[in-house]
Amino acid sequence: DLMAQEARALKKLHSEDHQLNRHFPELLDSFLHSEGRKRANVTERYDAFHALSTLKPLFPQGIDPRHGVWMFRRLLTGLGRAHDMGLVHGAVTPDNILIGAADHAVVLIDWCYSVVIDDESKTDNSIKALVPMYKQFYPEEVLAKESATPATDLYMAARLMDWLIPVAPKPFRAFFKGVALTKQSMRPQNAWLLLEEFDLLLKKIGEPFYPRRWVEFTVPSAQN
């Protein structure tokens, strides 16, 4: 059922031609195997990308906050587009965010846990499963099997950034804390508005975060 949900979500995300579809894998095929008992999805490969779970250990002191900025901005852009399409990702965890160092790309994978939040949906929109090893990234509504909203994804994105850049300036940490409030009703609900607020924060802080400049992101080799 999780694989079937991912297939539905990816089809929905790519149902319209849009430049922001670059943040989502394209579903190439979906089929049953093991005598019809299991489903497999085939998506494009991301050979030159790194999951945040494998990227962070390469930076013992944490990711440079300047790189954390573009990662967070692009993550919000992808989530904003998904929410506009009526989907909550539901698992914004280190394994599910791919980073393309060369062009600062961000791709959200593993849409198995996603739920439909459009006005026409009459189904239960609680997150059906979670990844136990990343339990600390989930908000209380997921753990309580309550309805998910865009605020669910935004909470997880903020927790992810707090984890990724522990050396972030104090204003960043305060911003992420405000996005990851316990009560869902107290959190931001709109990724696009949150992106605007974040950009205003960058402008207020100034150098080296504003004006924004391209900074090459070099991934060090894994150490034995």
Q: Angle at CA 101, nearest 5°, toward 53 and 223?
A: 55
The H-or-E segment that residue 33 falls in is strand 27-33
List the structure tokens of 219. Answer: 């991934």
169 and 179 Cβ atoms separated by less than 8 Å: no
3-state secondary structure (DSSP) of residue 86: coil
- Any residues with CB less than 8 A from the CB of 149 and at least 6 apart, and which? 88, 117, 141, 184, 189
Residue type, 103: D
Mention every residue, 6+ apart, whose C-beta is less than 8 A from residue 40: 3, 30, 31, 32, 33
One pLDDT digit (tens) per residue for the chain, 224 residues = 899 999 999 999 999 999 999 999 999 988 888 776 788 999 999 998 999 999 999 998 889 999 999 999 999 999 999 999 999 999 999 999 999 999 999 999 999 999 998 766 656 789 989 999 999 999 999 999 999 999 999 999 999 999 999 888 899 999 999 999 999 999 999 999 999 999 999 999 999 999 999 999 999 875 43
Instruction: Classify the phi-psi angles of 41: left when phi > 0, otherwise alpha if psi is within -120 to 50, otherwise beta.
Output: beta
